């Protein structure tokens, strides 16, 4: 869904190109996300994974929420835990987590 004239994908790439590389691409997620193919440890890892998704995958509700929450965390770091949790949910719903999260 467009935000003004920009799409979620445009927002991710604009952060990646301008701020994320030099400022927070190495900032850690709240906890590691162990996927089937890789482990996400940083914001940069999460952005790279999102940029590798197909447009159809990015258009699903779980990924839209994860993208928006990650964008919020980039603007306001106190949201990094929420961004990590929504990434975990999107990864789980997409079958990309190595194993489902444990519920206490």
- What are the pLDDT digits (tens) for 7-50? 555 555 554 444 443 336 889 999 999 999 999 999 999 999 99
Beta bridge partners, 42, equal: 28
Please state the rounded mean pLDDT for residues 53-64: 96
Tokens of 91: 């990864």
Q: What is the pTM of this model?
A: 0.75
- Residue 99 has a pLDDT of 82
Angle between helices 61-75 and 80-93 (to 10 degrees): 160
């Amino acid at each position: 869904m467009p935000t003004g004239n920009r799409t979620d994908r445009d927002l991710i790439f604009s952060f990646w190109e301008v701020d994320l590389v030099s400022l927070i691409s190495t900032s850690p997620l709240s906890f590691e996300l162990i996927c089937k193919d890789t482990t996400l440890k940083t914001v940069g890892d999460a952005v790279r994974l999102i940029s590798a998704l197909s447009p159809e995958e990015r258009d699903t509700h779980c990924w839209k929420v994860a993208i928006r929450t990650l964008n919020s965390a980039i603007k306001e770091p106190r949201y990094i835990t929420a961004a990590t949790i929504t990434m975990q949910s999107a990864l789980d719903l997409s079958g990309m987590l190595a194993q489902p999260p444990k519920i206490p």
